Amino acid sequence: MFKSFPVVVLATIAMTTQLKAAEPELRFEAAVVKPWVPNPNPLLGSPGCYVGPGMLQYNCRGTVPTLVAEALNLDDYQFKAAGPAYTITAKMSKPATRQQMDEMMGRFLQEHMGVRYHFEKRPIKAEFLIVTSPDLLVNLPVSNDPIPVAAEYNHPVIRGFHGPVPRFVHFAEVPEAYQSSKSPLWVEGQTPIACRNISFHLFAQLLYLQYKVPVIDETGVAQRFDLDLTIRHGEDGSVGTNLSEIRKILAKYGISLQSRQGVMDFVVLDKVADEAKFLN
C-alpha cells in the first residue's frame, strides 16, 4: 500500500516555483471576496475561474483548495474541495494571458487571504504522456502562434453564458462544420476536435474530460502544437471509447500514452487567514 510523503512548502516558495514570475510582479488592480453559495444548476454554479464580462474582469469561485488549484492549474484529482467557499471578483489593468491571471490569483491568495499549503506525493492509476522517441518527436506539428490573452468564452448554446469552462476549450474546438446534426459532415457518436496551439498539459486535460481517466503530462515538452482528433463515444455519449486510436496517433510523433500506477502532486491546505481579514 502506498503512503503519502509530505513535501512541506510555504506558499510563498511554492507559488514562485509553480508559477513563472514576471517582472514586475503582476497583481490585480482590485479584488472583492464574498461568500459563495453554488447555484443548483451545474452549468451556472460550478466552481472554477473565468474571464468576463469583458477582458478586464476575472472571477473565481470555490473552496480555498479549489482556488489554490486554479492558481496552480491543477486537475480536480490533485486536491479535495473542503471548507467554506468564496467568490473572488478581480479587476485587471489590462488584458492578460491565463497564466498571468494564475500568477495574480496566486499572489492574491498569499497576500490577502493568508493561504499556505504543501504538496504530498500520492499514488494514482492514470494514463501518462511520455516521450518515447525524440527522433519522431521532431515530426510533431509545432505551433509558433503566440499565446493569446484570455477572453470570454462564447458558449455555442447558452447565450450570455458566464462561468467556468475547461481551460483547453480555447485551444481545442469542434470545427463549425461539424457542430450541427444537420451538417452533411456530422456523424452520430463522433466528435471531431481541432487542437490548435495547445500544450501537452492542456491536451492531457482534454483527454481526461473525454475519456474519464486521469491523464498526466510527463513529456517535458514546452512547445505547443496542432493536432486533429476524433472522439468516438459509447451509447450514452458521455465517455470516449477509442483511446487506442489516440495512442496510435500520438505514437507517430514519439509520444506514448501509458496506463500504469504512478504518483502525483496533491495539494493540501495548511492555513487560511480569518475571514474578517479578507471578506468585503
Which residue from 149, 110, 142 is spatially nearest to 19, judged by alpha carbons? 110
Helices 98-113, 64-72: inter-axial angle, 10-degree rounding: 140
* Alpha carbon distance 153, 227 (integer Å): 21
Owner of C-alpha cell 491546505: 269
**pLDDT interval class at 13 (50, 70, 90):** very low
The set of residues, in sequence order, having a beta carbon less than 8 Å from that of 60 and lying 6+ positions away, is: 48, 49, 67, 70, 87, 88, 90, 105
From 10-19, 26-35, 119-128, 208-217, the region with the lowest mean pLDDT = 10-19
Question: How confident is the model over 165-221, as pLDDT tens digits?
Answer: 899 999 999 887 766 656 655 677 888 999 999 999 999 999 999 999 999 999 999
Q: What's the average model confidence in pLDDT over 222-243?
A: 91
Q: What pLDDT is stored for residue 158 in this prediction? A: 64
Q: What pLDDT is stored for residue 45 in this prediction? A: 75
Q: Kindly report each contact of residues 55-58 with a partner whose C-beta sits within 8 Å and lies 24 or more positions away, as own/partner.
A: 55/95, 55/149, 55/150, 55/151, 55/152, 56/91, 56/92, 56/93, 56/94, 56/95, 57/89, 57/90, 57/91, 57/92, 58/28, 58/89, 58/90, 58/91, 58/92, 58/101, 58/104, 58/105
**For residue 6, is pLDDT > 60?**
no
Question: How confident is the model over 169-179, as pLDDT tens digits?
Answer: 999 998 877 66
Question: How confident is the model over 230-239, as pLDDT tens digits?
Answer: 999 887 778 9
Q: What pLDDT is stored for residue 152 in this prediction? A: 86
Q: What pLDDT is stored for residue 10 in this prediction? A: 40
Q: Which residue has the higher pLDDT, 39 or 270?
A: 270
From 18-32, 43-57, 245-259, the region with the lowest mean pLDDT = 18-32
Question: What pTM was estimated for this model as a whole?
Answer: 0.85
**pLDDT interval class at 154 (50, 70, 90):** confident
